[in-house]
Amino acid sequence: MEGTPRTHPDVKQLMGLISLLPPVDVETPGGPPIDPVGFWAKYSDAHPQKYGGYIGMKLAAHLAAVQRRDAGWEAVRDLCGYCLMFFDVADEVQCVTLLDTVVGGRSSAVRPGSLGRRWADSVCQVAWRLFVAIQIELPRELR
């Protein structure tokens, strides 16, 4: 991979897309996510895998890892894997409707769920592109 994770355009795009969602943070490492607006709890309940607090906890940890000054490509790859796990939901009506409410802000969607669906598709496209490129470049023992 060319450049560093902090300067790579796809990493910037992925981080920008994620920034459209309510913030997720963890008070203590391994602790429950801080979810002041309740979005992450609702999203976890709507997700077909019923992840509970796992989504917020994992995203918070991996976002923090990628934002560190010394972040490497493995940290980006791990975040991408979780994005694919949590946001490959374009066919899940409840998930895209919830995403609609936060991604669209004050905009109104043409059809309910359309902004959430497009956001989820965009996240998965950039996450997959990064995931594959990083896997190809990493030595086999680090894959």
User: pLDDT > 90: what percent of the chain?
Assistant: 40
Model confidence at 29: pLDDT above 90: no
User: pLDDT > 70: what percent of the chain?
Assistant: 87
Dihedral angle computed from the Cα positions of residues 110, 115, 117 and 118, in that order, rounded to the nearest 10 degrees:
110
